[in-house]
Structures are given as structure tokens and as C-alpha cells.
Amino acid sequence: MNDQRKMEVPVRGMDCAECASHVRKAISGVDGVDDADVLLGAEKAVIRFSVETLDVSHIRKAVADAGYEVPHENEGAGDTDNSAQSRGAKLTRQALSLFGVVFGAVLFIVVVGEWLGLFDAVTRHIPWYIALAVLLAGGYPIFRNVITAALRGRVLAHTLMTVGAVAAMVAGEWVTAAIVVFFMRLGDYAEQFTAEKARGALHNLESMAPRQARVERDGEEEVVDLDALTLEDTVVVRPGERIPVDGTVIAGHATIDQSAITGESMPVDVGTGASVYAATIPQLGSLRIRTERIGSDTTFGKVIRMVEEAEANQSDVQRVADKFSGYYLPVVAAIAAATFIFSGDALATVAVLVVACSCAFALATPIAVLASVGAAAGHGLLIKGGKYLETLDRADVLLVDKTGTLTIGSPRVREVVPTEDSDEREVLNLAASAERYSEHPIAEGLRTAAAEQDLSLERPEEFESVPGVGIRAVVNGKNIEVGKSGPDLRGPQRVEELKADGATIIVVTKDGTPIGFIAVSDQVREEVPQALSAVRDLGIDSVELLTGDAEDTAARLSATLGVRHRAELLPEDKIRIVQEYQEKGHIVVMVGDGVNDAPALAQADVGMAMGAAGTDVAVEAADVALLRDDWMLVPDAFSVAKRTLRVVRGNIGFTAAYNLAGLSLAAFGILPPILAAAAQSLPDLGILANSSRLLRQKSY
């Protein structure tokens, strides 16, 4: 709908993908809600609605009825700063360490006691009412959620285990029922631990966001919260402080660590007129910055939002796993019924109900995606969800734009060829002086080359830009013309060689007489050959260059890089080429600059935008945004996708095998209920251990 609005609300208490699914269903049932995405990693719901206003109290009640919580606005306000997050993380680590010790000790006692036959001898002396009290005290939160869900026609992962605990009580196995509940609670802690580890990369990003800014107002500096900032405010940043806004430097010079945005470890020098980004850090020097974007509108804010929402872009693998979870519990119930019918063994039936772990299936994909996407974002690679990771994993065609993508995007002077009556410095000086006030990209290349040779540019007395011809100017009383060499103007042999090599030839005349030629060209990024080789090593055999340049120029470049090419293309031609590949069944990745190539990027199965930092169009439109102009991020994207899908498949395979073994052992009476309860907690930790490898991001 065109008038659809969006609201975000925090949700507490979610530990696994099944929890997120229940919350989404609850919110989607509220009147006025069109759709909702519930993000486990970000612990929030993104709600879309078309009514004039949506009452948050209705959302809060629906979430509470589902067994979770939407905190009020003033709750947790003091926990948003970085120090509070650090304290919270420390407490979480301590609690989880204690959990690990307790879990290990109890598991050891139960397993050894069961094997040695000592467990029953000890537990039979515990009065039933003590076991019942422990059962009710420990299991109340679980029983409450199960009953609440049952009244609404839903089945939870804990439903079967609750039935198993009740069945154990009916069979007179009070202590067994209490131990089952104990391991149910330990399983909950394991799921919380798993989810919290997956959120770690996102929390690390969020902790980089400044909360306050030093503002210059009425000649005085004051520190204010970001909410109090306005556009055009002048922000003062001292060495070591994080820049709180996106903006333009109006005074000062500094060396800035931009790794929070681009992932690039090498600092960059900035001065007046340079663009700077929130969450980056001046290491040397102070800056005064004109505010242009604040908070979630900054590049860093967009990165955080994209990482949060990446979870909503589910892959086919995740959707299959979610559907499987829905069928899994009824199948387990059927196996338990069959066990009781054919064996008559109540304890074996209880063990079947207890050992089943459906949450592990639901966690297999999102935990890996959260870890991978969050870690990649910290390295300057923004991937917007699991479905794009899966598509990258299956891609077999890479289409590449030239200008601004394979090349730097700005012409550079390759060589100056003077005539016999002049010299290189004179030719370059007069050309750059004549172009001093020109905004043409070639003019910028000439001025850069003059600066590199420490030439002092003259101020032109007259200046005229002639479309299709070049520049006419008067410099030191001389009439200077700078323009492209025509087809009928042949220069020295060296000029013809440079022209044949793809350079654009600029002729410089003084008072109507040519005094020299300047060869300019857009240079290929130095890391491109290595990156393309890495892409081929990853299984992308078909790489094609798409450009609007002339055939000769494209042919020379493609021959150098060892790729195919198509030249003299319009934007609609690039779209048609993408469609041609897709109609033949290929999975197409298109790499472009994110602005001129936006239509082709959108048409491709995965659009990848180069140098997207600070570019709204690129960040919003691309499926994968490379936050710095580094071609090695392209093979990194494919590598991340392949690693992630390997981990996901490993998670699913491990969970399936583990549950099949557990159900089989339980059904045949080999795995008693107590050990079955202990066993059902382990798949989550296995998934965590496997997925945690993705937090250690590797470059290709």
C-alpha cells in the first residue's frame, strides 16, 4: 500500500527463532497491522500498518499474551550507553559461566549416577512432595507458557517435554519429572546463550555509536544528547572522540580511523570540505563539522539498521527449516504414541517426548546468518540477509561495470608529450591553469598532476567552456586552448602509441599553435586482477565487463583482465543483458557504482554496490553494499556466503542426525528420561559452536 507506515518496538524474552515466530503471529493478529517482521538478533519487531495510528498498548498486550514483553519507553533508558552495555555484557558472561559450571556438574552427577545404578538408590528416598515442589517451582514459567499457547491453539517446543514431565509424574517418577524440568530450564539458558552470542556482532556495532555531541552555539561549546542536535549545527570533535554525525568539515585537519564504516584499518587524512561519518575517530587533530545527518540517518545508522533487518530476508533453507519445525512436533508425538502402543514402556515414551529438540532446527539458519552478517559489516561488507547469502553461494555469473567500479572513476594524467618548442612542465602548467575553474573530471586530473609536480597555477584572465571542444582561456596574455585531439590531428609516434593503448589525448595550443599533448585515462584499481582471480577460484567462471565506452577501449581492458566484454552500452542494454543470463537459468551478480547502474543492480539476482559509504542510493538499493572502494571485498562476499551456507548445512545435518539418534535410543528404551532431558539441551550448544566460527571474519 502506498500509505503504509512503519513502527519499531522492542521485544524482550525471545530466546530462539520459534519465539520470534510466535511474536510475529501475535502482532500480525492485532487490528490495523498489515505485516510484521520480528528480529531475534535486534530484539525488536518492525510493524507495518495502514491505519492512521496504531495503539502500542494493543501490541504490548498481544505480545504479553504470547508470553513475551514490550517494555515501556522509559524502561532501560539508562542502559543504552556503552559503559552500561559493557557492564551488562560482563554480567551476562558471569551468569553464563556459572550456568556452564552448574550444567556440567549436574550432567556429570546424573550421567555417572545413572551408569553406576546409584541414582535410583539415592532418589527413591526423596519424598514425592519435595520433588513436586521442585517441579512446580522450577517449571512454572515453562508450564505457564505451554498452557497459554495451548489455549490459543499453538504448540511450543516445550509442549512435548511438559507432557513428558506430566507423564513421568503419572507413572510415579516424581524425581525423574523434576530432573526433566531442571534440564528444560538449562535448555532455555543454553538457547539464551546461543542467541546472545549471535547478537554479539550487532551489539559490537551498536556500542560504537556515540550518544552525545559537543556543539558550538553562540560562541560556546556544550555537550548535548544526539536528540538535541539539529541539521546545520556545528559539531566540535577532539582527538580520540568519535564523530557523532555525518557532515562536512568546515575547519581543521585530522587523521581519521574510518574502520567502523569501511572496515579499512589505514587512517585517512581529511581537511576542510571533506565528508566525514558518524562513529569514526580522529586520531590526530580536531575538527569542526557542519551536521548533515543525525542518528539513524547517518551512514553508520543505516549500516546498523540493515544488519538488524537482514534477519527478515530469509533464505530458502531457513524457510524449509521453519516449515520442518512445524511438522516435527506432531511426528515426535506420533513416535511417542507408537512407542507406548508397541512396547507399553511408559518411561521410554516419556524419553521420546523429552529428547525431541525442535528449537535447534529453527536456530540452525538465523544464528549463522546473524553471526555472519554482523561480522561482515564490521569489515565494510554489508549483506542484507540470508536470502542474498544463499543466492551468492549459488551464483555463476558476474557482470561488472567499468567506470567507477573496475576503474577509479576519475581520469589521471598518464604522460605529457611536448612538441619540439616546449617542455612537459610548461604544457602541463598552461593546461592546468586554463582548466583552473573547470568542473570537468579531466580538469581535475590536470590540476592533480600539476600539484604532484609542485607547479604554481596561474589565474586565467578569461575563461570559456566550449561544449564538444574544450576550454578557451587567456593565461599570461596568451590564448590557450585545451581540448580532445580530433581524428585528423596526428601527433608524434608516442602520442599515437598512447592513443592505441586506450588513452584519451588532450591537445594544448598556445596562440593557435599546438605545444603539446597530454594522455589521460581512467586507471584500473590495482587490486582488480587479484580479485577477479579469487572470484574464479570460488567457482564464478563467467565474468563479463559491461561498459558504455568505445569498443577499442573495452577490448583492450577486457584482454588485460582476461574477461569477456560488451561495449557502447546504454543503461537499458545492461538490464537486457542481465535478463538474457537469467532466462538461461544463470544466477547473476552485478557489481556497479550503485548510482548510474541502479536499474541493472536491481534486475540482477544480487546487486553489489561499490564504495557505498555516504551514498544513500547505494546503501538502500543494493543487496550487498561494499562500504569502501576495495575490489577484494567482492571475493570476500562470495567467500562469506559459501562459508555461511556450509555452516548452515552443517547445523541442519548435525541437528537432524542428533535428533534421529536420540529418538531412536529413547524409543527402544536405551536412553532413560533423565539422560534424554540432558541430551535435548546439547544441540543448541553444538549450533552455537559451529556458527561462532563465522564471527571470526576471514578475508579471501
**Res 324 pLDDT > 70:** no
pLDDT for the residue 78? 36
Q: CA–CA separation, 558 vs 622, rounded Å? A: 25
Three-state secondary-structure class, residue 478: strand
pLDDT for the residue 90? 46
Cell of 71: 517494555
**Res 183 pLDDT > 50:** yes
Cα dist from 84 to 67, 75, 211, 278, whole Å? 27, 14, 12, 21
Q: CA–CA separation, 279 vs 298, rounded Å? A: 9
pLDDT digits (tens, 9 = 90+) for 624-633: 888 888 899 9
Determine the average pLDDT of the residues in 239-259.
Answer: 86
pLDDT bracket for residue 621 (50, 70, 90): low
Question: Per-residue DSSP letters for 48-68?
Answer: EE-SS---HHHHHHHHHHTT-
Question: Per-residue DSSP letters for 363-432?
Answer: HHHHHHHHHHHHHHHTTTEEE--HHHHHHHHH--EEEEEIIIIIEEEEEEEEEEEE-TTS-HHHHHHHHH
Q: CA–CA separation, 251 vs 260, rounded Å? A: 23
pLDDT digits (tens, 9 = 90+) for 350-367: 888 878 766 677 777 877
Strands 5-10 and 44-49, how do they pair? antiparallel
Top mean-pLDDT range of 209-223, 564-578, 639-653? 639-653
pLDDT, the chain, mean = 78
Q: What amino acid occupies position 100?
A: G
pLDDT for the residue 534? 93
Q: CA–CA separation, 353 vs 159, rounded Å? A: 9
In this structure, how many other beta carbons lie within 10 angstroms of the beta carbon of residue 55? 12
Look at residues 207, 206, 208, 230 and name the one whose alpha carbon lies nearest to residue 217: 230
Q: CA–CA separation, 658 vs 680, rounded Å? A: 9
Alpha helices in 482-527 (DSSP H): 493-500
Of the listed 233, 401, 597, 605, which one is catalytic?
Answer: 401
Q: Calculate what percentage of the chain has a pLDDT beyond 90.
A: 15
pLDDT for the residue 88? 45
Q: Is 396 a catalytic residue?
A: no
Task: Say how many residues make up the chain.
Answer: 700
Q: CA–CA separation, 347 vs 666, rounded Å? A: 9
pLDDT for the residue 236? 92
Query: Across the chain, how many H-helices and E-strands are there?
Result: 24, 25
Which uninterrupted H or E stretch holds 268?
Answer: strand 268-270
Determine the average pLDDT of the residues in 216-223.
Answer: 84
**Res 76 pLDDT > 60:** no
Q: CA–CA separation, 443 vs 431, rounded Å? A: 9
Q: φ, ψ for residue 289 (rounded to 5)? A: -125, 135
pLDDT for the residue 323? 64
pTM over 0.85: no
The burial class, CB within 10 Å (0-12 / 13-18 / 19+), for 682 is: middle
Q: CA–CA separation, 369 vs 505, rounded Å? A: 50
Torsion sign (Cα): 16, 19, 25, 31? negative
Any residues with CB less than 8 A from the CB of 189 and at least 6 apart, and which? Answer: 96, 99, 103
Question: Per-residue DSSP letters for 121-178?
Answer: HHHTTS-HHHHHHHHHHHHHHHHHHHHHHHHTT---HHHHHHHHHHHHHHTT-HHHHH
Look at residues 593, 591, 544, 549 and name the one whose alpha carbon lies nearest to residue 567: 549
Residue with cell 574510518: 258
Q: Calculate what percentage of the chain has a pLDDT beyond 70.
A: 77
pLDDT digits (tens, 9 = 90+) for 399-434: 998 877 888 777 888 899 998 888 899 999 999 999
Which uninterrupted H or E stretch holds 641?
Answer: helix 633-667
Q: φ, ψ for residue 151 (rounded to 5)? A: -65, -20
Residue with cell 576503474: 407
Q: With contact defined as beta carbons under 8 Å apart, do 388 and 644 qualify?
A: no
Q: CA–CA separation, 495 vs 417, rounded Å? A: 7
Top mean-pLDDT range of 245-254, 262-271, 504-513, 632-641? 632-641
- Write the DSSP symbol of residue 69: B
Q: With contact defined as beta carbons under 8 Å apart, do 587 and 316 qualify?
A: no
Q: What angle do CA 311, 317, 318 make, to 5 degrees?
A: 35
pLDDT digits (tens, 9 = 90+) for 521-577: 878 888 999 999 999 999 898 999 998 777 877 888 888 888 999 988 877 788 899
